[in-house]
């Protein structure tokens, strides 16, 4: 039994905590949008709004794409931020490098929509490509960065488990595959990584998982059985907290018989490909993604 006064205190503290989360989410999203605005998109890129069974999305295209080859791209942002506008520059560069059209959906985000909302949207977008757009799985590649990389892997596992034909290949850029945050690089890389901090990773994990076990394989594909997955390309920087999320995932996939290419980019940071406008390493990474996609579709 708790006194009436203490009940009021607890209520007040809970409300304060909820408001603090809301504010932090809002501020962080706004900051990411600002960062996204710094990027430039070439004039020949066409970006067309499309409704994917209720999920807002865009088709990104350049003049010389192979119309039948499609990349389904999941943006990053810790499952709580990121949207079409923050990632259309990166998606457009991947479109050009791979000569494939890119579908960039604004899948639902936490804390408003926790797991499994993002995964449901990921699967829905893939099925829409096949069922509504009439594409064949061998012409589709799924990819994503950070949380979107984790979502890519989780979507593959979900598709396999549901008996849906898998895409031709997938690429993961600095994927977040372990929401239980157990990688050693979480500690060993803390000085090198300029902007991802372990407490923020805990925070984002708690928002997305809510009451779910972070080791649920559809949340943390690191803990999934990876048998039967299509060829994977993983790119990660050596200077990031999330390095082990890639190295451990690649190892597990290899053991499960998956054709995995792991590229560890020396001294590169989390999703360095997003900085292609300013840094040549970003474009080099994207060029390799393009080659990979073209070789699989």
Choice among 75, 98, 246, 270 that is catalytic: 270
Q: Which of 1, 40, 43, 163 binds another protein (CB under 8 A)?
A: 1
* Of 117, 116, 121, 173, residue with least CA distance to 149: 173
* Distances in whole angstroms, Cα of residue 213 to Cα of each of 70, 116, 262: 33, 12, 28
CB-based burial, 214-226: b 16+ in 10 Å, e otherwise = bebbbbbbbbbeb
Q: Which of 123, 206, 256, 262 binds another protein (CB under 8 A)?
A: 206
Choice among 98, 185, 220, 240 that is catalytic: 240
- Total binding residues toward another protein, as defined by CB under 8 A: 38
> In sequence order, which ranges of the chain are alpha helices (DSSP H)?
4-37, 84-98, 117-131, 147-162, 185-188, 198-209, 243-255, 280-296
User: Between residues 160 and 270, which has the closer beta carbon with respect to another protein?
Assistant: 270
Q: Which of 79, 208, 272, 292 binds another protein (CB under 8 A)?
A: 272
Write phi, then psi, for 225 (nearest 5 degrees): -80, 125
3-state secondary structure of 170: strand
Q: Which of 281, 288, 293, 297 binds another protein (CB under 8 A)?
A: 281
Q: Which stretch binds another protein (CB under 8 A): 48-56, 61-69, 201-209, 242-250?
A: 201-209
3 is catalytic: no
Q: Which stretch binds another protein (CB under 8 A): 110-118, 135-143, 198-206, 254-262?
A: 198-206
Least CB distance to another protein at residue 233 (A): 21
Interaction of residue 145 with another protein, rule CB under 8 A: no
Q: Which stretch binds another protein (CB under 8 A): 15-23, 90-98, 105-113, 216-224?
A: 15-23
Q: Which stretch binds another protein (CB under 8 A): 60-68, 100-108, 189-197, 245-253?
A: 189-197
Q: Which of 136, 194, 227, 295 binds another protein (CB under 8 A)?
A: 194
Cis peptide leading into 111, omega within 30 of 0? yes
146 is catalytic: yes
Q: Which of 47, 124, 182, 202 binds another protein (CB under 8 A)?
A: 202
Least CB distance to another protein at residue 27 (A): 8
Interaction of residue 264 with another protein, rule CB under 8 A: no
CB-based burial, 85-120: b 16+ in 10 Å, e otherwise = bbbbbbbbbbbbbbbbbbbbbbbbbbbebbbbbbbb
185 is catalytic: no
3-state secondary structure of 49: strand
Interaction of residue 279 with another protein, rule CB under 8 A: yes
Within positions 26 to 65, which residues make up the interface with another protein, using CB under 8 A? 31
Choice among 146, 174, 185, 246 that is catalytic: 146
Q: Which two tokens stand for residue 14?
A: 């809970």
Longest alpha-carbon distance in the chain: 70
Burial group, residue 71, by CB count within 10 angstroms (0-12, 13-18, 19+): buried
Cα–Cα distance for residue pair 58/188, rounded to 1 Å:
39
Residue numbers at the binding site for another protein (CB under 8 A): 1-3, 5-6, 8-10, 13-14, 16-17, 20, 24, 31, 190-191, 194-195, 197-200, 202-203, 206, 211, 266-269, 272, 275, 278-282
Active site residues: 146, 240, 270
């Amino acid at each position: 039994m708790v006194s009436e006064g203490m009940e009021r205190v607890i209520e007040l503290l809970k409300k304060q905590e909820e408001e603090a989360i809301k504010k932090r989410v809002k501020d962080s999203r706004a900051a990411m949008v600002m960062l996204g605005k710094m990027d430039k998109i070439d004039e020949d890129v066409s970006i067309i709004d499309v409704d994917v069974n209720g999920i807002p999305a865009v088709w990104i295209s350049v003049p010389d794409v192979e119309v039948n080859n499609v990349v389904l791209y999941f943006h990053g942002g810790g499952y709580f931020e990121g949207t079409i506008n923050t990632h259309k520059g990166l998606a457009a560069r991947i479109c050009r490098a791979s000569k494939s059209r890119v579908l960039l959906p604004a899948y639902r985000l936490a804390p408003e929509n926790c797991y499994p909302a993002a995964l449901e949207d990921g699967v829905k977008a893939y099925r829409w490509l096949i069922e509504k757009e009439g594409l064949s799985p061998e012409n589709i590649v799924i990819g994503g960065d950070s949380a979107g990389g984790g979502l890519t892997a989780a979507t593959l596992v979900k598709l396999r488990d549901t008996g849906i034909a898998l895409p031709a290949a997938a690429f993961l850029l600095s994927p977040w595959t372990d929401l239980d945050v157990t990688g050693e690089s979480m500690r060993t890389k803390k000085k090198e990584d300029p902007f991802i901090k372990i407490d923020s990773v805990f925070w984002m994990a708690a928002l997305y998982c809510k009451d779910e076990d972070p080791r649920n394989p559809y949340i943390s594909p690191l803990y999934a059985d990876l048998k039967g997955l299509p060829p994977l390309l993983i790119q990660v920087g050596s200077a990031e907290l999330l390095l082990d999320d890639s190295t451990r995932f690649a190892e597990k996939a290899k053991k499960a018989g998956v054709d995995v290419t792991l590229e560890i980019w020396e001294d590169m940071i989390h999703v360095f490909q997003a900085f292609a406008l300013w840094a040549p390493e970003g474009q080099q990474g994207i060029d390799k993604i393009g080659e990979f996609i073209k070789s699989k579709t």
